[in-house]
Chains A and B, each alone.
Chain A
Amino acid sequence: MIPEWLTRDPLNGLVITIAFFISLVIGRYLNERMVHIKDRGKIIEPRIRLILAFLLIIAVTLMKHWYFPAALSIICIFTAYKLKVFRDYIKYMIFPLLMALFILAVQGFTYFTGTTEPGIIQLRSFGIEYGLLIFARIFASASVLIILILSTSESELIGSLRWLKVPATILEISSFMSRYINTFSHEGNKLKLAQRSRLGLSGSFLKKMQDTAIIFGLLITRAFARSEEIYRAMLSRGWKPELRYSHDLSPIGMTDMIPIILLVSGLLGIVFLDRSI
């Protein structure tokens, strides 16, 4: 009475059914939220976005087949296109891809086991396979990270760190650093322009290095002087070393918890499927 195919190993059937229906619920949920929120990059709460990105990257590193990370990369490319940040996405991808190509080349040319292909350049098939897996993992992880970057501001990130109970000292230093990185970067560029207009940063290598070092030295001494002014300003506003960042933030609501539970279950399913093939 029971069809023969139904009596066999149920693993793949179960996995695909669970993955499909979880994705179905997530898809409907995301669509409902999209209707109400104008800024499409912000449909998920920043704290959840950070945790999800971290979990996704961990899940990618656990995968043993290149096609799962490759599928994730395609989804990220599509998301970047839909969020209208495709140009920035491409710009940020350059560095991770260089690293991925370097590893692919090392593994492809030098892996110890695997058949050696005939030809002028000897390639190792296992090495290429493993290199491709690493390449796909880097591509997918970097894509996830870049989508996170492009949809989360620095202040939201620091807020998320507060919620994750990161030590107050790190939070205070991070806040100062994020506030002054742009200032010093701008100041450094001004110094560079000033030097160029006075025939600096040209000539021999040593001369260029000397000019660059003067800019860096100036920036450091200026940072030192400015920190004294900031300290005086902090004192005038009633700051004391005992005043630390509060970790009390509004708790995550149940409506925000639903996608995290669903996505984590989906991720676990995919990792399980990947490792059982």
Chain B
Amino acid sequence: MHISDGILEPQWILFWFAISAIFIALGIRIINKRIKEDPSYLPRISLIGAVVFVISVWHIPVPVTGSSSHPVGTPLAAIIIGPFATVVISTIALFFQAFVAHGGLTTLGANTFSMGIVGAFFGYLVYRLLKNISPLWFSAGMAAFIGSILTYLTTALQLALSLNPGNVMYYWKLYSIGFIPTQLPLAVAEFAFTGYAIKYISQTKAEVIDTGHNFDRFTTTALGMMFLIAAVIASGAYLGYMSGGDMSGTDGTVEAGAAPEAVSDAIGVRLMARFGEPVGFALVGITGGLVTGYFWNSWRKK
């Protein structure tokens, strides 16, 4: 389910574009690096991208509902060409899909985030985690199942954030429940066909599947930690909400526990009041990450 134009408020359009742009830039960097090493990578990734596009608009039978629907396709792509390349491919695919009225131009950032980033990265993470402890078809199938479910949960969250900012958690749950009748059976179908497809490819042309040596250890560890911490925070918040929590956030606890004497009108607080908390936290995260990353090697040497 792609988000159409006209649904998201302008600030959310910009927000999702900004987040997706970071991943797209990283994806382009990785693709360029691989093209330099192996120029045949360009036609290979493009043609596989074309096939993934064809697969993602192909109707597959959906159990229970008796109808047919489109699969997400990005977990399968991530297993074959890697998650960062998948972000770039899915952005292009979503751009083309906007021109068959699936999705939209202004929602390209939001749809890239849900399908290309969340679907691909979490799917790939599940695949890598399960690959060594379960059969290949099962790990690929689970990657597709989790990737598909998380894609729709993210879409529901994007809708709730933009349309009902006053009751985000309630509407997130509501939109998620609204998607369940079609998306849960679809995720089951995606589990089955991705599992079978990867099994078939591994039996006929195993070299097609990405070996996963795209990053150095530092990048892999950093990304792994990012997804792990994000997953813990999201699951904790969701569980808290389900058990009746007031969702007041952790900033009050942090302020009281970690910095009880903090200045209440410091520049950070003023910035957050001016631009909104998410932007303030994003600025803090970007600054902290950039400084730490920049000096990481020299600190390690010392």
Contact = CB atoms under 8 A, between A and B. Distances in A.
Interface of A: 53-54, 57-58, 60-62, 69, 92-93, 95-96, 99-100, 102-103, 106-107, 110, 112, 130, 134, 137-142, 144-146, 148-149, 154, 157, 167, 169-170, 172-181, 183-185, 188, 205-206, 208-210, 212-214, 216-221, 223-228, 230-231, 234, 240-241
B204 A217 contact: yes
Contacts of B10: 58, 61-62
B43 A213 contact: no
A177 B199 CA distance: 25
Nearest to B80: A220
Interface residues of B, number: 73
Contact of B192 (A206, A214, A240): A206
B60 A209 contact: yes
B180 to A, nearest CB: 13
Contacts of B195: 213
A53 B99 CA distance: 12
A188 B99 CA distance: 21
Given A146-B101, A213-B200, A223-B51, A173 B88 contact: yes
9 tightest Cβ-Cβ pairs between the two chains A and B = A213-B196, A176-B46, A141-B5, A137-B6, A141-B6, A217-B200, A92-B101, A209-B192, A180-B50
22 contacts: A58-B10, A110-B171, A134-B7, A139-B6, A142-B101, A144-B5, A169-B88, A173-B89, A174-B95, A177-B46, A177-B89, A180-B47, A209-B60, A213-B192, A216-B197, A218-B200, A219-B54, A220-B201, A223-B47, A230-B43, A241-B35, A241-B42
A58 B48 contact: no
Interface in B1-58: 1, 3-10, 13, 28, 31-32, 35-36, 39-40, 42-51, 53-55, 58
Main secondary structure of the interface of A (DSSP, over half): helix
A91 to B, nearest CB: 8
A140 B104 CA distance: 12
Given A140-B6, A169-B35, A228-B44, 15 more contacts: A54-B105, A61-B5, A61-B6, A61-B13, A95-B4, A103-B163, A107-B163, A134-B6, A149-B99, A154-B99, A209-B196, A210-B192, A213-B192, A214-B196, A216-B76
Interface in B54-110: 54-55, 58, 60-61, 63, 76, 80, 88-89, 91-93, 95-96, 98-102, 104-106
